[in-house]
Amino acid sequence: MNQLKNDRYLRALQCLPVDYTPIWMMRQAGRYLPEYRQLRAKAGDFMTMCQTPELACEATLQPLQRFDLDAAIIFSDILTIPDAMGLGLYFETGEGPKFKKTISCLNDITQLPVPDPEESLTYVMDAIRLTKQELDGKVPLIGFSGSPWTLATYMVEGGSSRTFTKIKKMLYCEPKALHLLLEKLANSVALYLNAQIAAGAQSIMIFDTWGGALSHQSYRSFSLHYMQLIISQLKRGKKSQNITSYIPVTLFTKGGGLWLDAISNSGSDAIGVDWTVDLNQIDQKGNIAIQGNLDPAILYANQETIASNVESVLAEFGHYNGHIFNLGHGIHQDIPIEHVQYLVDAVHKQSKRFHP
């Protein structure tokens, strides 16, 4: 195994000292990069990129070739598992992900298979193996999945939703059916993430994109419970002096600021937070890592504004160990590329005084 040359991200996830705050960005391999747009045009469509290991590897590495980021995240999609279950994932320009088949009743749920990740999702594992080799220990590689609740939302709604009418109708009218779907998804995600770990992922992230759409009572039962079920099944290793012998897990619930205490007791190593969270108000700093939380829209602003907002986020977190700087959600596709450079440089330069 290649020696890891930059372990700041993994150290921060374990609340260990670092010399500056590590940074990576959600959706850092994306359409704001001209080389990504060229690669996607070459591939023809998004799913071909995801399902071709060489293209997924190239997309993963592109932002690392431009910016001094402290982690890579494998290029894939959160909805690979429902696709492997036979729902037929596809993308329409300007409309996001859609499924050819949807889940509407208990019978649909009972017929869903639990995918073998080394068969129906082997393209993800091959991409991880290839990318890990190409990284050659430069930075750690992050593997990920969507959360059971988020996957179920897309599977029942058939795509993105503003009102979540269908999934919430199932939640309140057929809760047993929804719990069965979520349990099947949790077990599928655990198998999938363990396969990613075996392939070489050095950290795991669970994206609970739609958890914030739940009521405060429902969040714990229909989202957090199933993420905990996943965590309990992950083959994470044990913490030791060898920083790479342990696989840290980050839970990110967009709009989840109300549940930070509950998430911190989930068994995860880190909590991802969006820009609505005041880091001053987090009591767990230093005991559990925090990832976040710059508003992506700030990257439209000038260099001085970006630097000022970076300073605000760093000062809110303070002199604790365990901060991974990130955006509060994915980077927007029309962000000026030089502004990303401003952000990375500002985080590395300005964070040094918080790590004496």
Nearest to 110 by CA among 53, 184, 213: 184
> Quick check: is 221 in a domain?
yes
β-strand pairing of 96-99 with 89-92 = antiparallel
Distance between CA 42 and CA 152 in Å, rounded? 32
Distance between CA 56 and CA 35 in Å, rounded? 13
> Quick check: is 206 in a domain?
yes
The answer, yes or no, to whether residue 92 has pLDDT greater than 80, is no
On whether 300 is known to bind a ligand per the annotation, the reply is no
> Quick check: is 1 in a domain?
no
Is residue 342 part of the annotated active site? The answer reads: no
The answer, yes or no, to whether residue 286 has pLDDT greater than 70, is yes
> Quick check: is 79 in a domain?
yes
Segment 42-51 shows an average pLDDT of 93
pLDDT in tens, 95-111: 788 899 999 999 999 99
From 9, 20, 154, 192, active-site residue: 154
Q: How many helices and strands in the chain, by DSSP H and E? A: 15, 9
End-to-end CA distance of the chain: 31
Q: What local confidence, expressed as pLDDT, does residue 34 receive?
A: 97
Is residue 77 part of the annotated active site? The answer reads: yes
On whether 27 is known to bind a ligand per the annotation, the reply is yes
From 32, 40, 192, 219, active-site residue: 40
Please, how many CA atoms are within 13 Å of residue 328, restricted to the half-sphere of its CB?
21
On whether 31 is known to bind a ligand per the annotation, the reply is yes
pLDDT-based confidence at residue 30 (cuts at 50, 70, 90): very high
> Quick check: is 60 in a domain?
yes
β-strand pairing of 323-324 with 289-291 = parallel
**Residue 194 in tokens:** 């363990």
The residues, any chain, with a CB within 8 Å of residue 276's CB and separated by 6 or more, are 255, 257, 328
- DSSP class of residue 284 equals T
pLDDT in tens, 139-183: 999 999 999 999 999 999 998 888 999 999 999 999 999 999 999
Q: What local confidence, expressed as pLDDT, does residue 160 receive?
A: 84
> Quick check: is 2 in a domain?
no
Is residue 27 part of the annotated active site? The answer reads: yes
From 27, 66, 129, 220, active-site residue: 27
Residue 96, CA distances (Å) to 161, 223, 328 in order: 10, 22, 20
On whether 236 is known to bind a ligand per the annotation, the reply is no
Q: Provide the CATH number for the domain around residue 169.
A: 3.20.20.210
Report DSSP letters for 56-89, one per residue: HHHHHHHHHHHS--S-EE-S--TTHHHIIIII-E
> Quick check: is 322 in a domain?
yes
Distance between CA 280 and CA 5 in Å, rounded? 32
On whether 217 is known to bind a ligand per the annotation, the reply is no
On whether 159 is known to bind a ligand per the annotation, the reply is no
Segment 122-135 shows an average pLDDT of 98
Paired residues of 246 in beta bridges: 237
Residue 116 in 3-state DSSP?
Answer: coil
Is residue 37 part of the annotated active site? The answer reads: no
pLDDT-based confidence at residue 3 (cuts at 50, 70, 90): confident
Domain count, the chain: 1
Distance between CA 235 and CA 182 in Å, rounded? 21
Domain that holds residue 295: 8-354
From 9, 20, 70, 77, active-site residue: 77
Q: What local confidence, expressed as pLDDT, does residue 198 receive?
A: 98
Entry pTM = 0.96
**Residue recorded with tokens 């050819």:** 100
Q: What local confidence, expressed as pLDDT, does residue 115 receive?
A: 96
> Quick check: is 148 in a domain?
yes
Distance between CA 330 and CA 212 in Å, rounded? 16
On whether 154 is known to bind a ligand per the annotation, the reply is yes
pLDDT-based confidence at residue 2 (cuts at 50, 70, 90): low
pLDDT in tens, 181-223: 999 999 999 999 999 999 999 999 999 999 999 999 999 999 9
pLDDT in tens, 226-260: 999 999 999 999 988 889 999 999 999 999 999 99
Q: Which residues of 340-354 are buried (b: 16+ CB within 10 A; e: fewer)?
A: bebbbbbbbebbeeb
pLDDT in tens, 296-330: 999 999 999 999 999 999 999 999 999 999 999 99
The answer, yes or no, to whether residue 347 has pLDDT greater than 70, is yes
Paired residues of 253 in beta bridges: 208
The answer, yes or no, to whether residue 1 has pLDDT greater than 70, is no
Is residue 154 part of the annotated active site? The answer reads: yes
Return mean pLDDT, the chain: 95
Rg over alpha carbons for the chain, rounded to the nearest Å, is 19
- DSSP class of residue 52 equals -
Distance between CA 59 and CA 37 in Å, rounded? 10
